Chain A
Amino acid sequence: MPDMTSRERIEAAIALKKPDRVPTAPLILQFAGRYGGITGEDYLFDAAKGQAAVEKTFYGLGGWDAWPLFVPIQGMALTMRPIKYRFPGRGLALDASYQVVEEPNMSIEDYDVIANDGYGTFFKRLHGKVYPEYTPEQLGPLRGKLKSEQLENIKRWADRGIPTISGAMTQLPIDDLIQYRSMNELAKDLFRRADKVAKAIEVMTPIVADAGKKGATGSGALGVWLGGLRSNSSFLSMKQFEKFVLPSLVTIVNALVEAGLVVYLHFDQDWTPNLPYLKELPKGRCILATDGTTDLVKAKEILGDRMCLMGDVPATLLTLGTPLEVEDYCRKRIETVGEGGGYILSSGCELPIDSKPENVKAMLESVEKYGR
């Protein structure tokens, strides 16, 4: 029997089947810039150089089966959301990793703005506050240009047989609020004005689902990225999770799946106690991608017959470990989480910018060694 194509492998894993070998799809955001030999600033703000660095990284390391998110990531695209960043060459060293500046740009009164005037009105207002340098007239064309570049990149790789999983990026409403308000303020809001937070989430939920649908439908990618960063047991109690996370998670995922899209659940931090709740999500249409904090073996036990699992080579192992240690970690994941299919080997969250290339190679090669 001939080998499966990369796309067939990824689709088989999502459908909880066993491909000819375990597929692999590291999450490449900033690593490609450094591996490609250009500065972080060029990688994020010069699309042509960024694209060249991505090519160099993919072919230099021997390739893989899919891109979890369209590549390269663009600094400008990050600034389309009302979240402040520090970028390499712009407040940080040229070779640094970009970082979110988490500060309470959203006020307490803004909960009422979301409830009364709508999320769109609030979003525009907050964006104008965080990025006064963009005029409203600039934003439309700029978003259009970024989107068409993303579509070109998705197509470029699809033509070479490498699918992109996420054609649009969304995040759970509570994680958006955490970034707008800051973790510290949002945590207090959950006690002092819980109903206002819940109301805002209710208003945001269908809008987030629509943005995912519009962004990914027809993009050539398999589906939508849905981020869950702090919406789990590392930060929230189960009671808070049930009230502020679960209803919006279920609504958004169902809406995306009904639109024919796969949902890439990019879930950082510790979701282990939250895993049983994910059984509610539609079977064979989600990928749960974790960062090494969630117990992925437990996830296999609880969710193995519901959703594809992805991950989770830890960042510290990729930067400070040895190729043998990485290989050993991957072998164990392939043997346990990969058993019977429904698994994609990947970096836990983003492949760190300072990963040792020999460690990345060891990860990629492990699927051939142990995944057939």
Chain B
Amino acid sequence: MAYQARREAALPETLSQLLYDLEEDKVLAEVKERLARNGDPIAIIEECRKGMEVVGKRFEDKEYFITELIMAGEIFGVVMEMVEPAMKGSRASTIGKIVLGTVQGDIHDIGKNIVRTMLKCSGFEVYDLGVDVAPQKFVEKIMEVGSPLVALSALMTTSFNTMKETVEAIAKAGLRDKVKIMVGGGPVNEKVRDYVGADAFGKDVTAAVELSKSFIEVK
């Protein structure tokens, strides 16, 4: 139910509802208030995650677009910063690790950054290597954190070869059977997935999250 309608019906607004309706000021006021009376920071995060799930669903249903995803991610990020001091070392539960980056030679990152936000909201521990990432950097990070997932992004056709080189570098390091490799970005499709030798292609941010969950068998 939209914010306005709920208010008219005088129903209480949960934190998750305020978030998925992108009521930034109200979300932040609510979080501030709950933290002031020693509310559970983990509960705040969980409720915001639920809100982000609805945002993702609305995006899938074409009710929300990229701008709404960016704004929701921004609010979520601010909330995370606000609750951080109250966490006192405790951590929100995570469901798995993933290494993410735009491949070497390509500096585009709008799509990648949105995927990062939505993966984080879904409970993934995301290691974002940024843009223009060399194949070896992916390999090193996968080994360092022991990630079973890696997602490669690109916007240009000229990046297909570096995507392929990255997949080859992962194989050469003996990791090919240990990681699932996903590819995505503007011109990336099934043909590109086949060309570079990846395991899956995600056509948009929700596909990226769903694929990641399916690979680590989260329902």
Contact = CB atoms under 8 A, between A and B. Distances in A.
Contacts of A93: 105
B195 interface: yes
A273 B160 CA distance: 29
A336 interface: no
A183 B110 contact: yes
- With most chain B CB atoms within 10 A of its CB, the pick from A86, A192, A320, A353 is A320
Contacts of A191: 22, 24, 67, 71
Interface stretch (A10-18, A140-148, A234-242, A255-263): A234-242
Nearest to B114: A184
Interface residues of A, number: 34
A92 B105 CA distance: 7
A192 B24 contact: yes
B88 interface: no
6 contacts: A86-B107, A99-B108, A184-B113, A187-B71, A237-B64, A237-B68
B66 A235 contact: yes
B157 A315 contact: yes
Interface of B is mostly: helix
B108 A316 contact: no
Contact of A183 (B22, B70, B188, B191): B70
B158 A188 contact: no
Contacts of A86: 107
A344 B70 CA distance: 36
Nearest to A234: B66
B192 interface: yes
Contacts of B191: 316-317, 320-321
A56 to B, nearest CB: 21
Contact of B105 (A96, A187, A321): A96
Contact of A97 (B22, B64, B65, B156): B156
B157 A236 contact: no
Nearest to A95: B158
A320 B74 CA distance: 37
Interface in A135-165: none
Contact of B192 (A96, A187, A316, A354): A316
Contacts of B192: 316, 320
Interface string A310-339: 000011111111000000000000000000
B195 A320 contact: yes
Nearest to B190: A316
B187 interface: yes
A353 B158 contact: yes
Listed from nearest, the 9 A-B pairs whose CB atoms lie closest are: A187-B70, A187-B67, A352-B157, A319-B157, A235-B66, A316-B187, A237-B65, A315-B187, A191-B71
A320 B160 contact: yes
Given A184-B110, A188-B71, A352-B156, 11 more contacts: A92-B105, A97-B158, A188-B74, A191-B22, A234-B66, A316-B157, A316-B189, A318-B157, A320-B157, A320-B191, A321-B191
A232 to B, nearest CB: 9
B125 interface: no
Interface of A: 86, 92-93, 96-97, 99, 101-102, 183-184, 187-188, 190-192, 233-237, 240, 273, 314-321, 352-355
B65 A96 contact: no
Interface in B71-123: 71, 74, 105-108, 110, 113
Nearest to B64: A237
Contacts of B195: 320
Contact of A236 (B67, B187, B188): B67
Contacts of A184: 70, 110, 113
Given A316-B191, A320-B160, A353-B158, A190 B107 contact: no
Contacts of A97: 156, 158
Interface in B135-187: 156-158, 160, 187
A353 B108 CA distance: 17
- With most chain B CB atoms within 10 A of its CB, the pick from A93, A99, A315 is A99
A133 to B, nearest CB: 21
Nearest to A185: B70
B113 to A, nearest CB: 7
Contacts of B113: 184
B67 A235 contact: yes
B197 to A, nearest CB: 13
B7 to A, nearest CB: 18
B67 A354 contact: no
Contacts of A321: 191
Contacts of B188: 316
Contact of B158 (A96, A190, A236): A96
A358 to B, nearest CB: 16
B131 to A, nearest CB: 10
A191 B22 CA distance: 9
A187 B66 contact: yes
B187 to A, nearest CB: 5
Contacts of B187: 314-316
A354 B157 contact: yes
Interface in B180-215: 187-189, 191-192, 195
Nearest to B69: A187
Given A236-B65, A237-B64, A352-B157, A99 B107 contact: yes
Interface in B42-69: 62, 64-68
